[in-house]
């Protein structure tokens, strides 16, 4: 007998629990039965043989209430429409046997208290019985989202399931047919994921978990395309959400503004973000969401790629003690005669960021040379000759005729020479502008042994914020 056990996750769940996503969501336990599963579901997959089918073991986290009597496991081949159940489960796991190859199964769990009251269903976990691993394993620059183009499937899109929940986790919402696998609208190919939200509930498509092999990445590029019709205001999430799962067992619900789309009507457009975390990522789960507003959205060409690691220390500016580690502020007179007269020219700003929580801020009132200097990046042999350099910035009332209003890099060569590198491609506009990326790829004709990054506002006035500074080897 061949047995193959694959642990998908420690504490993975198939849908974002609203109480965990935001501190503004509170669960109020009243005399009604509002207990809910803390079900961080994960699977243990074992294949006995093709003749006997597959066995799937479901695990979940126990409820904290002391009066839980037992659990009920529901499953079937349609999302939220379960044809089978197992009652009176005393523990927090159960093995379902003899599942048919080639089918997608959906699982959810409820809790029953001593009075016989049953909770709403937990998050749903989805698994295709195909004789192989239920996860994607990939560590290259290709898209690792299963069926990210939304083209594969039979009656439903392979790897994706639709869910609809009201706020406060109190149960299934009242939208009729909230989601479709739509073959009449697509960014590319023939199909897309459609959401129609009429009630302002939390409607989302959940994709299949992507698990990485070692060496685990820390930098990901995440995003996708969407189109909207009559999308209402004040959405909590109207775009993409990714559950980032770290090697230390923690996780983050990642849905920055850069992954959200406009309100009203808009045609197909791309939103994406590249983010570096300060710890290893072992898995990611994608979600396409229309939360707490009304309207219709279509989603297509959803992607997760493992990018090259930016070599800049504390590139996201989120590692700190009292100041951003690896960065220091300086302010010099333009003629080099000494320290300039700006009072407090730079801050580590926790009120403005491209990603994460923080950025480097420069306010120049005197037209001096104000800059943040980063930590030196040193290379090992074989020394590179091609680098991609850049970062993000935002500006307010930036004056004209700046010498440098962007990024500067000191390129240090193996022969002992160096170059101050600040091409036009790394400089930003004047006036007011929102976060934008500037980067350039350059090949030198000799070996590079080290680079030092600088964020500058030279010989002009105004305020700029800098974030997600990058130095990568190669294109």
Residue 474 has pLDDT above 50, yes or no: yes
Statement to judge: residues 183 and 293 lie in one domain = yes
Both 148 and 128 in one domain: the answer is no
**Nearest CA to 95 among 111, 75, 79, 81?**
75
Domain CATH for 192: 2.60.120.260
Residue 77 clears pLDDT 60, i.e. is over it: yes
Query: How far from the centroid of its chain's Cα atoms is residue 15's Cα?
Result: 14
Confidence bin at 51 (pLDDT 50/70/90): very low
Q: How far apart are CA 200 and CA 198, in angstroms?
A: 6
Q: Is 475 exposed, middle or buried (0-12, 13-18, 19+ CB in 10 A)?
A: exposed
How confident is the model at residue 125, as a pLDDT?
A: 76
Domain boundary among 134, 162, 193: 134
Query: What's the confidence (pLDDT) of residue 13?
Result: 32
- Whether 428 maps to a domain, the answer reads yes
182 and 221 inside one domain:
yes
103 and 198 housed in the same domain: no
pLDDT of residue 311: 65
| CATH number where 38 lies | 2.60.40.10
How far is the first Cα of the chain from the last one, in angstroms, to the nearest whole number? 48
Q: Which residue has the higher pLDDT, 288 or 275?
A: 288
Which residues touch 195 (CB under 8 Å, ≥6 apart)? 162, 178, 179, 203, 204, 205, 288, 289, 290, 296, 297, 298, 299
Is the pLDDT assigned to residue 7 strictly greater than 60?
no
Do residues 22 and 74 both lie within one domain? yes
Report the alpha-carbon distance of residue 218 to residue 387 in Å, rounded.
19
210: pLDDT confidence band, cut at 50, 70 and 90? confident
Label residue 130 by pLDDT band (50, 70, 90): low
Q: What is the reported pLDDT for 129?
A: 65
Residue 20 has pLDDT above 60, yes or no: no
Q: Indicate whether 361 belongs to any domain.
A: yes
Domain closes at, from 134, 159, 179: 134
- Judgement on whether residues 256 and 286 belong to the same structural domain of the protein: yes
Helix (H, G, I), strand (E, B) or coil at 425: helix
Beta strands in 25-182 (DSSP E): 42-49, 53-59, 68-76, 84-89, 93-99, 104-113, 125-128, 136-137, 160-165, 179-182
Domain membership flag for residue 239: yes
Q: How many CA atoms lie within 13 A of 76 on its CB side?
A: 9
Same domain, 335 and 469: yes
* 256 within domain boundaries: yes
Domain span at residue 107 reads: 1-134
420 vs 23, higher pLDDT? 420
26 plus 160 within the same structural domain: no
pLDDT tens-digit map of 427-453: 999 999 999 999 999 999 999 998 999
Mean per-residue pLDDT over the chain, rounded? 78
Q: Is the pLDDT of residue 386 over 60?
A: yes
Same domain, 111 and 156: no
Domain final position from 72, 106, 134:
134
Tens-place pLDDT, residues 217-248: 888 888 999 999 999 999 999 999 998 888 87
- Whether 336 shows a pLDDT value over 60: the answer reads no
**319 domain residue, yes or no:** no
Classify residue 312: in a domain, yes or no.
Answer: no
Are both 125 and 210 inside the same structural domain? no
Count of structural domains within the chain: 3
Domain check: are 77 and 98 in the same one? Answer: yes
Quick check: is 2 in a domain?
yes
Lowest pLDDT segment from 14-23, 384-393, 409-418 = 14-23
174-203 tens-digit pLDDT: 677 888 899 999 998 899 999 999 988 889
Residues 392 and 469 occupy one common structural domain: yes
Is 0.85 topped by the overall pTM? no
Q: Kindly state whether residue 321 falls inside one of the protein's structural domains.
A: no
CA 433, chain centre distance (Å): 25
Q: With 50 as the cut, is the pLDDT of residue 465 above it?
A: yes
């Amino acid at each position: 007998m061949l047995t193959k056990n694959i642990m998908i996750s420690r504490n993975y769940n198939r849908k974002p629990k609203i109480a965990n996503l935001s501190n503004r969501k509170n669960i109020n336990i009243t005399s009604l039965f509002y207990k809910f599963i803390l079900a961080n579901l994960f699977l243990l997959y074992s294949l006995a043989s093709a003749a006997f089918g597959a066995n799937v073991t479901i695990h979940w986290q126990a409820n904290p209430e002391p009066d839980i009597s037992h659990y009920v496991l529901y499953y079937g081949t349609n999302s939220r429409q379960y044809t089978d159940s197992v009652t009176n489960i005393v523990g927090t796991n159960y093995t379902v046997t003899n599942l048919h190859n080639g089918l997608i199964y959906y699982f959810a769990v409820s809790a029953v208290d001593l009075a016989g009251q049953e909770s709403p269903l937990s998050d749903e976990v989805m698994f295709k019985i195909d004789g192989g691993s239920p996860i994607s394993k990939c560590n290259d620059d290709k898209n690792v989202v299963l069926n990210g183009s939304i083209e594969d499937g039979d009656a439903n899109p392979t790897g994706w399931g639709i869910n609809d929940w009201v706020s406060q986790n109190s149960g299934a919402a009242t939208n009729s047919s909230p989601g479709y696998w739509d073959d009449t609208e697509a960014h590319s190919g023939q199909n897309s994921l459609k959401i129609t939200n009429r009630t302002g509930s939390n409607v989302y498509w959940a994709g299949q978990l992507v698990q990485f092999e070692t060496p685990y990445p820390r930098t990901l590029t995440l995003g996708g395309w969407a189109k909207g019709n009559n999308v209402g205001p004040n959405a909590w999430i109207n775009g993409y959400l990714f559950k980032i799962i770290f090697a230390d067992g923690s996780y983050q619900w990642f849905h920055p503004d850069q992954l959200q789309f406009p309100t009203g009507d808009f045609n197909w457009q791309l939103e994406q973000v590249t983010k570096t975390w300060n710890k290893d990522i072992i898995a990611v789960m994608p979600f396409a969401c229309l939360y707490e507003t009304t309207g219709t959205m279509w989603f297509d060409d959803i992607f997760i790629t493992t990018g090259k690691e930016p070599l800049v220390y504390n590139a996201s500016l989120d590692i700190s003690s009292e100041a951003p580690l690896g960065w220091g502020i300086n302010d010099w007179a333009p003629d080099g005669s000494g320290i300039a007269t700006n009072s407090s020219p730079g801050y580590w700003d926790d009120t403005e960021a491209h990603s994460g929580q923080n950025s480097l801020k420069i306010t120049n009132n005197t037209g001096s040379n104000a800059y943040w200097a980063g930590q030196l990046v040193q290379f090992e042999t074989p020394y590179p000759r091609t680098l991609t350099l850049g970062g993000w910035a935002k500006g307010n009332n930036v004056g004209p005729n700046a010498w440098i209003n962007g990024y500067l890099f000191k390129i240090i060569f193996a022969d002992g020479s160096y170059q101050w590198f600040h091409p036009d491609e790394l400089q930003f506009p004047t006036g007011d502008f929102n976060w934008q990326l500037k980067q350039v790829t350059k090949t030198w004709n000799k070996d590079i042994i080290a680079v030092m990054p600088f964020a500058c506002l030279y010989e002009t006035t105004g305020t700029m914020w800098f974030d997600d500074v990058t130095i990568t080897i190669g294109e």
